[in-house]
Structure 1
Amino acid sequence: MKKLAILAAGIILLIFVAAKYADKESDTAGNSGITFFTGSWEQAVELAKQENKPIFLDISTSWCGYCRRMKANVFTDADVAAFYNASFINVSLDAEHGEGSVLAGKYRVSAYPSFLFFNSDGSFSSQTAGYRNSDNFLELGKRNKK
């Protein structure tokens, strides 16, 4: 009888934990963070022109701790993601590879993470660097939305 009670308690606990995990999954469903364009820079500029949206460009490196923190904590923030996804064509490039290297050189990126903003016609607007918390990063986007 005692074994049956322990088994029943274990099953109830397992169901409770599974239900709690399912609730957590549904809370985060659809909120994967900022959606970054995956095509070429030229394609991103063309899309910005078509949609009449400015471009947000994140230039980072794989070894940069603050870059990883931005990606894990700030780019995934629900308010940040909603604003940036609605307001910008978002692009993220590695400063040490491919187009990221070319653009980092062209715009003299010397610190990571670097955030560059471009007008909807692809012309350069502004640039800044360094870790920002969610509120500061949201304010940065609002100042650069045109």
Structure 2
Amino acid sequence: MRLQLTLLLGVTLVTLASYTSLENVPQNQIDFYQGSYDDFLREAKKLKKPILLDFWASWCGPCKKLENETFSNPSLVSFLNTNYMVYKVDIDSFDGMAIADRFSVDVYPTLVLLDAKTKYVGRYRGFFPADYLKNELERAKSQKGKHFIAPKINTTASL
């Protein structure tokens, strides 16, 4: 009897300790997807949400400005968390470099938009104020994408 009571008390305490109310989740931050890029794409397709890829680097000044000024705007944060799946692509990682190559990203920051079927819609290069970016993303939210065709790179060197 005493063992059952101790076990019940332990389970109850663990359950209460692991409970997180919605009030504790920060509502002033963008909900960037934390898993792998492939898992992210599967989740976005499942939820049928358009995608925003944020290509950034730790050494990039405009990337930091975008993060600190634009991505901290409460109106934009709410809009993105409601309407988009957002993924940060660190171009200094091997996976990030491969994704950047896939979309021919060569300017940082770059935001790439994909539709809910992961087809290419468009891109924004550089820093943008929150209100401007929100208006652009509202317009682009329902656009249908197309397959992205990366520009061909001439690999033959002329002598």
Partner of 1:15: none
Where do 4+ consecutive residues of structure 1 move more than 6 Å? none
**Over aligned residue pairs, what C-alpha RMSD do you find?**
1.3
The alpha carbon displacement at 1:83 in A equals 0.3
> Where do 5+ consecutive residues of structure 1 fail to align?
1-28
Residue 140 (structure 1) shift: 2.1
* 2:97 is the alignment partner of 1:101: yes
Residue 99 of structure 2 aligns with an amino acid whose one-letter code is L
Contact in 2 for aligned 1:55/1:88 (Cα 8 Å) = yes
Matched, 1:65 2:94: no
Instruction: Give the C-alpha shift of residue 34 in structure 1.
Output: 1.1
Give 2:77's aligned residue: 81
Out of 118, 135, 141, the residue aligned to residue 131 of structure 2 is 135
Q: Which amino acid aligns with 1:53?
A: K
What SS does structure 1 have at the residue aligned with 2:26? coil
Match of 2:39 among 33, 43, 55: 43
CA deviation after TM superposition for structure 1 residue 131, in Å:
0.3
Distance 1:32 1:97 in 2: 27
Matched, 1:126 2:122: yes
After TM superposition, the structure 1 stretch with the greater mean CA deviation from structure 2, 120-129 or 51-60, is 120-129
Alignment of 1:19-34 (within 5 A): 30-34=26-30
Q: Is the 8 A contact 1:31 1:76 kept in 2?
A: no
* Mapped pair 1:52 → 2:48: yes
Q: In the aligned structure 2, how far is the partner of 1:128 from the partner of 1:77?
A: 18
- Could you tell me how far 1:106 is from its partner in structure 2? 1.2
TM-score by length of 1: 0.76
Q: Which has the higher contact order (CA 8 A, sep 6+)?
A: 1
Deviation at 1:71, TM superposition (A): 0.7
Letter in 2 for 1:60: W
2:35 is paired with a residue whose SS is coil
In terms of fraction of residues, the more helix-rich structure is 1
Shift of 1:121: 1.4
Cα distance, 1:124 vs structure 2: 1.6
SS in 2 for 1:111: coil
- Counting aligned pairs with the same residue, the percent is 25
TM-score, normalised via structure 2 length: 0.70
Please report how far the alpha carbon of residue 137 of structure 1 lies from its aligned counterpart in structure 2 after TM superposition: 1.3
- The answer to whether the 8 A contact 1:53-1:119 is kept is yes
The number of aligned residues is 118
CA positional deviation for 1:98 = 2.7
Structure 2 residue runs of 5 or longer lacking an equivalent are 1-24, 143-159
